[in-house]
Structure 1
Amino acid sequence: MFDFFKGQLSDVIEWNEFREDMIFWKWNNDEVKKGSKLIIRPGQDAIFFDQGKIEGVFKDEGEYEIESEIVPFLSTLKGFKFGFNSGMRVEVLFVNTKEFTVKWGTKSAINIPTQQLPGGMPIRANGTFQFKVTDYVKLIDNIAGVKDNYLVEDIRLRITSILDQLLMKWITKEGKDMFNLQANSFEIGKGIQEDLDMQINSDGFEITRFTIMSFNYPKEIQDMITKSASHSMIGDMNRYKEVAFTDAISEGKSEGGNTATDMAGMMMGMNMAQEMVKGMNQNNSSTPQSSPANNGNNAIPNFCPNCGNKTSGMNFCGNCGHKLA
């Protein structure tokens, strides 16, 4: 890690075992000797501090001579002169300047109070949040003063320890629709972000974003929500009944038949019978009626009953004049 032993003077101040999941790392060798260098890599800030007080912050990546390029800018140590055989006592905090993204999820279901369910609605949720270091003074005063390093996992544990209470607070705030929480996820997330920011801001951190990816209901509740949504999209009762019949038949096929299936079949049979009767009535009304002249006793005979001559469909016999109809 560093090429020195305790009590020796260091040639280089650097964070050469940089980790993406490490928020800061503290270099705290006893002394820095004359001619030593500071190396700042991309995504790092180097903070010189003494007894908890910040002496200087260096942000630009590169390699710097401690005596000529660093010491003159230190607030209280700029008058320090290196002795030939002595060194300068200093602590340097390397800070990861990136914005960290952390996944979160409820470990167990949260029972949210609701009027529809006296025992509460068991809900799980998951998402992500982003944070970064914004105040080096607070960071050193409250954390770096007593710790040599700090991990993203440390922040995640702090956040998740209070997340359940914040979810309950913002879900129940102003009577949110318990069966459509996803529609209010942005508003709920913004409220939680503000509360979390207050929790960690005192230590020099800022929650830059809090996102709820999804709310998860128990299977029975989710099935009810899905069916309710599909029915609300139908729009009219006739279509609703058709969907209900289809649902009943599908359930009957999968479950081997039941009362609901029998009822659905009976109702569909009645509807089909009504359609058949309606069609027959329409056919009867469209069939032309026979003329009175062709019905019963008023029909014209094919031959004259008086003389036997063929009538040819006339009302009087063409041979003898006998009235035929």
Structure 2
Amino acid sequence: MSFFRGQFANVVEWEEFREDMIFWKWSNKEIKKGSKLIIRPGQDAIFFHNGKIEGIFQNEGEYNIESQIIPFLSTLKGFKFGFNSGMRVEVLFVNTKEFTVRWGTQNPVLLPAPNLPGGMPVRANGTFNFKVNDYVALIDRIAGVKDSYLVEEVKLRITSVLDQLLMKWISKEGKDMFNLQANAFDIARGIREDLDMQVLSTGLTITGFQVMSFNYPQQIQDMINKTASHEMIGNVGKYQQISMTDGMASGNVKGGGAAADMAGMMMGMNIAKDMMKNMESQSPQQGSSGQGTAQETQGEGKKPNFCPNCGAKNEGANFCPQCGQKLG
């Protein structure tokens, strides 16, 4: 790198680099021979002169202004640089990475719905991606009047139109408002195309748009969950029984109220009904068994009138009064 006596060697670099900054302008400074340009990874440097782009440097590294930059710029029409004089120039540093931004609806989107005059309020959230793709448009529309540009400014512009675009693409083609997540891909694709048209004139492009979730009011979400439970069980009566049992088991249904009394009565009736079924299924066996037992008891209770050993008359005793023989 060359130095000239009496001249200060400036360093042209992105002095205020931030991850959320789209571009930053190095301006109102004098570039002299002997200065150097530093371009870091993920950056491009654009030289302005009299409001026009004179050169774009995209490769990272350190450049000598005198030997590498000036010879290149001097070949361009209208660019002049005196041997001993400095030059006031603007250098725009652009962040070339793809930015990812989280978004959420500012207000609930009111979707037309039967029996809901004001519409059903739905919120949504997700992410979108963008990057710079047209330096001429960027300078013409934004960088010409701003010294820096933040991701937050792009986010504000995007979210200001998101509610309208959500309404447009959810309503399009009769999307099922109670199952929006199933159509999230198609909705997001349509929104991305519209957003890209919104920012195209500023030198940006929307490279991706995702809807992570749709959020319903709590009452609507409870209804959706209950309907899903009914469909999963397939039997509303059975669902009611299970709900009642779970409520009593968890302690949510407690004594002292009509609902608790009714729940207890129904559960008691169900238990009694189950017991009766079990008794009916077992009654034939129990009847035959009981009859056999009675006969056996009757047979065992009958005593012989005469002792089989000695022939003595018996009056119903268990043992013979003459010889002691066991009778019966």
What is the TM-score of this pair, normalised by structure 2?
Answer: 0.78
CA contact (8 A) 1:186 1:211 kept: yes
CA contact (8 A) 2:43 2:93 kept: yes
How far apart, CA to CA, are the structure 2 residues paired with 1:34 and 1:116?
A: 75
SS of the residue aligned with 1:121? strand
Asked if 1:148 corresponds to 2:147, the answer is yes
Alpha-carbon distance change, 256 to 53 in structure 1, aligned in 2, over 3 angstroms: farther
Moved more, 267-276 or 55-64: 267-276
How far apart, CA to CA, are the structure 2 residues paired with 1:213 and 1:61?
A: 36
**Which letter does structure 2 place at the counterpart of 1:245?**
M
Moved more, 225-234 or 158-167: 225-234
Alpha-carbon deviations, 1:254-310, whole Å to 9, x = none? 67654444333332222222212212212222231748xx6xxxxx97668xxx989
How far apart, CA to CA, are the structure 1 residues paired with 2:68 and 2:264?
A: 90
**Residue in 2 that maps onto 1:14:** 13
Q: Quote the offset at 1:159 in angstroms.
A: 0.6
**Which letter does structure 1 place at the counterpart of 2:269?**
M
**Residue in 2 that maps onto 1:173:** 172
How far apart, CA to CA, are the structure 2 residues paired with 1:40 and 1:72?
A: 18
Q: Quote the offset at 1:156 in angstroms.
A: 0.9
**Which letter does structure 1 place at the counterpart of 2:174?**
G
Alpha-carbon deviations, 1:122-180, whole Å to 9, x = none? 12222221111011111111111121211111101101111111111122222222222
Alpha-carbon distance change, 9 to 51 in structure 1, aligned in 2, over 3 angstroms: farther
Q: Quote the offset at 1:116 in angstroms.
A: 4.8
Alpha-carbon deviations, 1:15-49, whole Å to 9, x = none? 12211121111122364222222111122100113
Give the paired residue count: 302
1:179-258 mapped onto 2 (5 Å cutoff) = 179-237=178-236, 239-246=238-245, 249=248, 253=252, 258=257
**Which letter does structure 1 place at the counterpart of 2:47?**
F
Q: Quote the offset at 1:247 in angstroms.
A: 5.5
**Residue in 1 that maps onto 2:67:** 68
Q: Quote the offset at 1:194 in angstroms.
A: 1.3
Q: Quote the offset at 1:84 in angstroms.
A: 3.0
Q: Quote the offset at 1:243 in angstroms.
A: 2.1
**Which letter does structure 1 place at the counterpart of 2:265?**
M
**Residue in 2 that maps onto 1:108:** 107
How far apart, CA to CA, are the structure 2 residues paired with 1:15 and 1:242?
A: 70
How far apart, CA to CA, are the structure 2 residues paired with 1:173 and 1:9?
A: 63
Alpha-carbon distance change, 81 to 181 in structure 1, aligned in 2, over 3 angstroms: closer
Identity, % of aligned pairs?
Answer: 66
Considering only aligned residues, what root-mean-square deviation do their CA atoms show, in Å? 3.5
1:52-91 mapped onto 2 (5 Å cutoff) = 52-74=51-73, 77=76, 82-91=81-90
**Which letter does structure 2 place at the counterpart of 1:20?**
E
SS of the residue aligned with 2:193? helix
How far apart, CA to CA, are the structure 2 residues paired with 1:210 and 1:256?
A: 53
Q: Quote the offset at 1:199 in angstroms.
A: 0.4
Alpha-carbon distance change, 159 to 133 in structure 1, aligned in 2, over 3 angstroms: same
How far apart, CA to CA, are the structure 1 residues paired with 2:256 and 2:103?
A: 45
Alpha-carbon distance change, 96 to 244 in structure 1, aligned in 2, over 3 angstroms: same
SS of the residue aligned with 1:35? coil
How far apart, CA to CA, are the structure 2 residues paired with 1:39 and 1:78?
A: 25
